[in-house]
Homo-oligomer: A and B are copies of this chain.
Amino acid sequence: MKRRGRKSGKTFKKSSGVSKIKYIDFINQNYRPTKNDLICLFRVEPAKGIKFEEAVGRVASESSNGTWTDVSIESSLIKELAAKAYYIQPPWTKIAYPHQLFEEGNMSQILSSIAGNIFGMKAVKKLRLEDIYWPETILNSFRGPTHGLRGVRKILKIYDRPITATVPKPKVGLTTNEYIDVAKEIWLGGVDLIKDDENLTNQSYIKFSERVKKMFRLRDKIERETGERKSYLINITAPYKEMIRRAKLVNDYGGEFVMIDILTVGWSALQSFRDINEEYQLAIHAHRAFHAAFTRDRRHGVSMKVIAEVARIIGVDQIHVGTVVGKLESPLTDVKALIQICRETRIKENMKIKILKKDWGKVKPIFPVSSGGIHPGLIPKIIEIFGNDLIIQVGGGVLGHPGGPRAGAKAVRDALEATINNINLEEASKHSRELREALDKWGYKTPI
């Protein structure tokens, strides 16, 4: 066997003006980010024996174009493309990334850089990607929301109050006909949207194709009866090709929304779905199942802020952000920051809540969704936190009502109407047996 290469052993020609690049080259406290740099705010806990600056330099290196050893290959672009850690306030650092490191319009690539290998580096004990400043050039390379907050209000013709949604429970285990029966009661009780839960897709006893058909037929009937707009957020979470097939069905039957578990589906399929959605113009409801696997430890992983930003940039129209008062952990400061991230067009940097500057430009505002362990007694508190531009989703708190789902839905709607009219729930419950029963069962308590 010929093996010319192994014999030659010749040294690779180096270009002129060469110098080796080390972690220290990724730190520059005099650097002033340009408007095209993407900036990451990291919380860094160095491994034992590693200095803060070294850990930061290694993070900047590994997430841009460095590696663990000096290399003999040189190119004019290397220094130009290196990330620069320019803000060093242990445990915090801000790292600026030249936008040319990234492929425009490719979120998977961007995240493989700034949220990739670095979490496993031995040089850090813990590492948290807390927030991102997104430069215009990158923002504009994505489609952004199809409808956004205002577009969703237009679809539903609801302009003056929070929108309500209910997930029929048990989330898996109803047959198609049972699901339809429950949905009917919920819609008739006054809730606007029915939503599938994260793990209901196309099981043998509740097939997607039958469910979509029957649900939209029912929806049309109930809209005529009640004179209110209603819709159904059907879960199309599936392999990409199947997701598209299901979206087409939704469109064919007159649906306006789809629901996607964005994290278990992933960014690549979500992006292509958003592209194809130019044709269908469906509003995308983003469920965040799985997020707490990497958001919950506040010293490691990626924050929910970053996930909400990525989702808005790619183009979901509504996303779950927590409740503060529900069954899933979601502290007030986090939820407030997430509400801003969903709804604002400009945000000033605020290091108290660890949020970097945002200028969303043409990227439409989207709806925050509050969900998980909510019942009527919690609605005033939630509206106090969120204001009016909100989707309140109540599942167990409707289906668990002693009077059944229609009464449960009415209790939610009554609690909502009372709250936006500044009537307290005790007062309102004098005129609503359903609300009274809900308050008697759950009170005003936060569930665990």
**Which A residues are within 8 Å of any B CB, using their own CB?**
1-6, 8-14, 21, 47, 50, 64-73, 75, 77-78, 80-82, 100-103, 105-109, 111-113, 115-123, 168-175, 178, 181-182, 185, 187-190, 198-199, 201-205, 222, 225-228, 237-243, 261, 263-272, 275, 287, 289-297, 300-302, 327-330, 372-373, 375, 395-397, 399-407, 409-410, 413, 433-434, 442, 447-448
| Residue of chain B at shortest CB distance from A417 | B6
**Contact call B69/A178, Cβ cutoff below 8 A:** no
**Contact (A372, B243) CB under 8 Å given A81-B173, A101-B199, A112-B261:** no
**Identical copies in the complex:** 2
- Tell me, in angstroms, the Cα distance from A11 to B411 when the chains sit together: 13
- Tell me, in angstroms, the Cα distance from A75 to B102 when the chains sit together: 51
**Contact call B327/A122, Cβ cutoff below 8 A:** yes
Could you name 16 residue pairs across A and B whose Cβ atoms are closer than 8 Å?
A5-B187, A9-B433, A9-B434, A12-B403, A68-B447, A69-B396, A73-B170, A101-B199, A108-B238, A108-B264, A117-B372, A120-B328, A122-B448, A123-B327, A241-B272, A297-B300
Q: Which residues of B contact A225 (CB under 8 A)?
A: 2, 4-5
Q: Which residues of B contact A205 (CB under 8 A)?
A: 77, 100
- Tell me, in angstroms, the Cα distance from A175 to B15 when the chains sit together: 13
Q: Which residues of B contact A173 (CB under 8 A)?
A: 65, 75, 77-78, 80-82
Q: Which residues of B contact A102 (CB under 8 A)?
A: 199, 203
Q: Which residue in B67, B115, B237 is a CB contact (below 8 Å) of A290?
A: B115
Q: Which residues of B contact A272 (CB under 8 A)?
A: 239-242, 269
Q: Which residues of B contact A168 (CB under 8 A)?
A: 73
Q: Which residues of B contact A275 (CB under 8 A)?
A: 239, 241
**Contact call B67/A171, Cβ cutoff below 8 A:** yes
- Tell me, in angstroms, the Cα distance from A82 to B171 when the chains sit together: 11
A23 to chain B, nearest CB (A): 10
Q: Which residues of B contact A50 (CB under 8 A)?
A: 448
- Tell me, in angstroms, the Cα distance from A372 to B267 when the chains sit together: 25
**Contact call B395/A72, Cβ cutoff below 8 A:** no
**Contact call B405/A72, Cβ cutoff below 8 A:** yes
**Contact call B1/A75, Cβ cutoff below 8 A:** no
Which of A21, A121, A373, A442 has the most CB atoms of chain B within a 10 A radius of its CB? A121
Q: Which residues of B contact A399 (CB under 8 A)?
A: 67, 71-73
A190 to chain B, nearest CB (A): 5
**Contact (A227, B112) CB under 8 Å given A6-B413, A296-B119:** no
- Tell me, in angstroms, the Cα distance from A66 to B115 when the chains sit together: 33
**Contact (A112, B264) CB under 8 Å given A205-B100, A396-B68:** yes
| Residue of chain B at shortest CB distance from A80 | B173
A178 to chain B, nearest CB (A): 5
A369 to chain B, nearest CB (A): 14
